[in-house]
């Protein structure tokens, strides 16, 4: 069974609906992922949530940023700028990165919008027309006057400082080319595209909060000769095959559903709805998304450190390769997974890492794991309903086995890694930012 965190004592149950957009390239719109939500109130959400939703859209636009830079870095930098701008005016906690005090009477709403716009214009220059148009809509809501102008100027100043602080973090360096090794267990480029291995530079990026990329590097994956490897091999061989006779209809739906959108986008969407539904304000929302996306960014750095440290093969390679290295596994040269395999090593699993990291932050921030919500993916016409953050996290992790993407040991290691990264970021960021839950 995949790792599950305990449900905390406080119980808040709320039904919301979130549409997780299709990522298929044939949609033909400016954004491949269009977010549709059912609001819980007639009033629009605050500027932090509105800009988080816009950030999700522009981030997935084709060619929005270099493919070698992990999108979680853009999420984190933008949300840190928003938090430090809002906090600099309201003064509810210590800054995360930029120690600037806002001018007296400045609008925190204007500061949030200006910080987000300034960061995104710099990080996603091809999306400036959409970003700037959205900004004009924000100003129409906020209004004008000296208070707003002070907020704008301060938000821009904070964002520029955050961008400068992260400008030499290594993300823009030329990504090294991964050359596959030979022999059983070694990651190989995967069909159908056989694309070069991705995010090879991510582990070299300076973490936001972690002390180093390898701080929580998991132990090596099971030896190919071990009973555990044979057990997990047999499971994905059976459940992850395109035409599997053992995978249930529900497991097939799960496998298809969770592969349609970037997992870090899905968890930001879940957080949007939790923030709206559980009654927090601008300052709390700024803290929430800074903490969530900083955790996801450091999770990506730790994840790719482990992936390229172990360079373990994917099921599509393991199952179809004649030389298995284990007498209890049998090659199947005609095996095809339910979903096309991602272009990076298998261990640990990304969905598991990001989902457990996000769940840990949300549980800690809201003081509860009980939160009912539905996610719908219109591309495949599937809706999934959950009663807690951890239930969604466990399902996201299991989905990769059903999709033929990962072995179970990948997912278990990913969940452990995600939880460890989140716990560290929460503990240390909270010390820096004055207990973000208050």
pLDDT of 317 reads 97
Q: Which of 113, 167, 162 is nearest to 139 (CA)?
A: 113
Provide the pLDDT confidence category of residue 67 given band limits of 50, 70 and 90: very high
Q: What is the pLDDT of residues 337-374, one digit of tens each?
A: 999 999 999 999 999 999 999 999 999 999 989 999 99
Q: What is the pLDDT of residues 302-324, one digit of tens each?
A: 999 999 999 999 999 999 998 77
CA atoms of 47 and 25, how far apart (whole Å):
30
CA atoms of 135 and 121, how far apart (whole Å):
11
Q: Which of 299, 401, 313, 406 is nearest to 356 (CA)?
A: 299
Query: Taking 70 as the threshold, does the pLDDT of residue 437 lie above it?
Result: no
The label of the residue with tokens 């839950």 reads 437
Cα torsion angle, 348, 34, 291, 63, sign: positive
Query: Taking 90 as the threshold, does the pLDDT of residue 15 lie above it?
Result: no
pLDDT of 322 reads 86
Which pTM does this prediction carry? Answer: 0.90
Q: Which residue segments constitute the domains of the chain, with CATH numbers given? A: 16-173+196-433 (1.10.606.20)
Which of the pair, 216 or 38, is modelled with greater confidence? 216
Largest CA distance in the chain: 75
Tokens of 413: 């290691």
Mean pLDDT across 234-248: 98
Provide the pLDDT confidence category of residue 326 given band limits of 50, 70 and 90: confident
Average pLDDT value for the chain = 89
Q: What is the pLDDT of residues 16-47, one digit of tens each?
A: 333 333 333 222 232 233 233 333 445 789 99
CA atoms of 375 and 244, how far apart (whole Å):
25
Tokens of 155: 């938000």
Mean pLDDT across 214-224: 97
Provide the pLDDT confidence category of residue 408 given band limits of 50, 70 and 90: very high
Helices 350-366 and 389-402 pack at an angle, to 10 degrees, of: 180
pLDDT of 260 reads 83
Tokens of 397: 């992790």
CA atoms of 201 and 224, how far apart (whole Å):
28
pLDDT of 27 reads 26
**Pairing between β-strand 16-19 and β-strand 370-377 as defined by DSSP bridges:** parallel
Provide the pLDDT confidence category of residue 430 given band limits of 50, 70 and 90: low
Tell me if the bond preceding 348 is cis, omega within 30° of 0: yes
Mean pLDDT across 385-407: 98
Q: Which of 350, 355, 352 is nearest to 292 (CA)?
A: 355
Q: Which of 72, 64, 14 is nearest to 39 (CA)?
A: 14
pLDDT of 18 reads 37
122 neighbors 165 (Cβ within 8 angstroms): no
Q: What is the pLDDT of residues 254-290, one digit of tens each?
A: 999 999 889 999 999 999 999 998 878 999 999 999 9
**For the chain, how many residues are written?**
438
CA atoms of 37 and 376, how far apart (whole Å):
10
Query: Taking 50 as the threshold, does the pLDDT of residue 243 lie above it?
Result: yes
pLDDT of 380 reads 87
CA atoms of 432 and 205, how far apart (whole Å):
21
**Residue 181 backbone dihedrals phi, psi, to 5 degrees:** -80, -170
Query: Taking 90 as the threshold, does the pLDDT of residue 434 lie above it?
Result: no
Mean pLDDT across 45-58: 97
Provide the pLDDT confidence category of residue 213 given band limits of 50, 70 and 90: very high
In the chain, % of residues over pLDDT 90 = 81
152 neighbors 110 (Cβ within 8 angstroms): yes
């Amino acid at each position: 069974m995949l790792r599950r965190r305990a449900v905390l004592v406080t119980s808040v149950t709320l039904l919301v609906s979130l549409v997780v957009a299709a990522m298929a390239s044939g949609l033909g719109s400016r954004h491949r992922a269009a977010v549709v939500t059912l609001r819980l109130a007639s009033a629009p959400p605050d500027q932090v949530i509105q800009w988080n939703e816009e950030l999700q859209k522009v981030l997935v636009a084709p060619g929005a940023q270099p493919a070698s830079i992990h999108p979680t870095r853009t999420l984190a930098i933008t949300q840190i700028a928003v938090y430090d701008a809002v906090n600099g005016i309201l003064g509810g906690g210590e800054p995360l990165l930029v120690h600037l005090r806002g001018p007296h009477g400045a609008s925190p709403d204007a500061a949030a919008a200006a910080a987000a716009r300034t960061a995104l214009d710099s990080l996603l220059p091809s999306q400036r027309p959409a970003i700037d148009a959205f900004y004009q809509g924000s100003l129409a809501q906020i209004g004008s006057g000296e208070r707003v102008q002070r907020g704008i100027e301060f938000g821009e100043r904070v964002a520029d400082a955050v961008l400068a602080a992260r400008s030499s973090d290594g993300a823009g360096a030329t990504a090294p080319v991964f050359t596959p090794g030979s022999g059983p267990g070694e990651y190989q480029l995967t069909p159908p595209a056989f694309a070069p291995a991705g995010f090879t530079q991510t582990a070299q990026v300076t973490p936001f909060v972690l002390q180093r990329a390898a701080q929580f590097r998991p132990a090596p994956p099971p030896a190919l000769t071990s009973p555990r490897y044979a057990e997990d091999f047999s499971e994905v061989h059976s459940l992850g095959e395109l035409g599997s006779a053992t995978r249930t209809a529900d497991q097939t739906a799960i496998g298809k559903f969770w592969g349609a959108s970037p997992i870090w986008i899905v968890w930001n969407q879940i957080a949007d709805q939790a923030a709206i539904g559980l009654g927090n304000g601008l300052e709390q929302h700024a803290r929430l998304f800074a903490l969530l996306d900083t955790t996801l960014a450091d999770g990506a750095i730790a994840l790719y450190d482990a992936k390229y440290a172990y360079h373990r093969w994917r099921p599509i390679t393991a199952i179809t390769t004649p030389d298995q290295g284990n007498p209890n596994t049998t090659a199947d040269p005609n095996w095809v997974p339910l979903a096309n395999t991602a272009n990076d090593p298998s261990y640990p699993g990304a969905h598991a890492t990001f989902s457990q990291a996000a769940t840990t932050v949300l549980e800690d921030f809201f003081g509860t794991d009980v939160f009912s919500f539905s996610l719908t993916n219109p591309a495949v016409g599937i809706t999934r309903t959950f009663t807690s953050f951890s239930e969604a996290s466990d399902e996201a992790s299991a989905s990769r086995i059903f999709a033929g993407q990962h072995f179970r040991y990948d997912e278990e290691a990913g969940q452990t890694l995600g939880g460890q990264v989140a716990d560290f970021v929460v503990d240390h960021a909270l010390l820096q930012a004055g207990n973000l839950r208050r």
